[in-house]
Amino acid sequence: MPEITLRAANDADIEAVAGVWHRGWADGHAGHVPAGLHAHRTLEHFLGLVPSRIPITTVAVANGRVVGFVTMHDDEVEQVYVDASARGSGTAAILLDRGEEIVAATYDRAWLAVVAGNVRARRFYERRGWVDAGPFDYSAETDAGTFTVPALRYEKDLRTQTV
Ligand SMILES: CC(C)(COP(=O)(O)OP(=O)(O)OC[C@H]1O[C@@H](n2cnc3c(N)ncnc32)[C@H](O)[C@@H]1OP(=O)(O)O)[C@@H](O)C(=O)NCCC(=O)NCCS
């Protein structure tokens, strides 16, 4: 794998981040969320979500290309997405470490939501010290109404971190 660089996202990254998010959403959620939700998770949907998140987004860059991103909102590591080409390479761990570091500047404990059926993501988080704190119903909003998605809340005590 080429060298991975982390940097704060900027508006020039909007399309690349939305593309990673769009493709990764399908990879992580297909078969694990209500089937009707897929039609609403278009590239345009993610292009609409990214701009307001740019100030809370860190991107991973390899060979000048955005290959992943993490967003933090208060004590939540809100999104961790890595392009298929960079999975299994350690890029996701570098991004998650940065997300935790940013949350740890203000909070002792971080949380995130993961779809129950997304076993690859769950294994990744668990290997990084996150624990399953229980199920909850995530309400996915769309133009056609709300879809209920079975999700899990994962938590990590950040006080044991050496950052
Ligand atoms: C989740 C994600 C960020 C993890 O990054 P990654 O580079 O794939 O993670 P890693 O390869 O380091 O770790 C994944 C673990 O799951 C395992 N794994 C791989 N495929 C798997 C599968 N189909 N089922 C179960 N476990 C699987 C891997 O072996 C690895 O575990 P190990 O290190 O103990 O062997 C990345 O897969 C991704 O972007 N997925 C799509 C988007 C997504 O789901 N984001 C998270 C939303 S909450």
- Give residue-wise pLDDT tens across range 135-153: 999 999 998 899 999 999 9
Note the pLDDT of residue 1: 75
SS3 105: coil
Which two tokens mark 50?
Answer: 């990214």
> Nearest-CA neighbor of 6 among 77, 106, 113, 82?
82
Note the pLDDT of residue 68: 98
Provide the whole-model pTM: 0.96
> Nearest-CA neighbor of 68 among 124, 115, 129, 7?
7
Q: Atom of ligand 1 at shortest distance to CA of 82?
A: 39
Q: How far is the CA of 144 from the centre of ligand 1 (A)?
A: 31
Show the domains of the chain with their CATH numbers.
5-157 (3.40.630.30)
Which two tokens mark 6?
Answer: 């982390």
Residue 115 CA, chain-centre distance (Å), reads: 11
Give the pLDDT band (50/70/90) at residue 162. low
SS3 69: strand
Positive or negative torsion for Cα 147, 111, 27, 22: positive
Nearest protein CA to atom 6 of ligand 1, as residue: 87
Length of the chain: 163
Q: How far is the CA of 10 from the centre of ligand 1 (A)?
A: 26
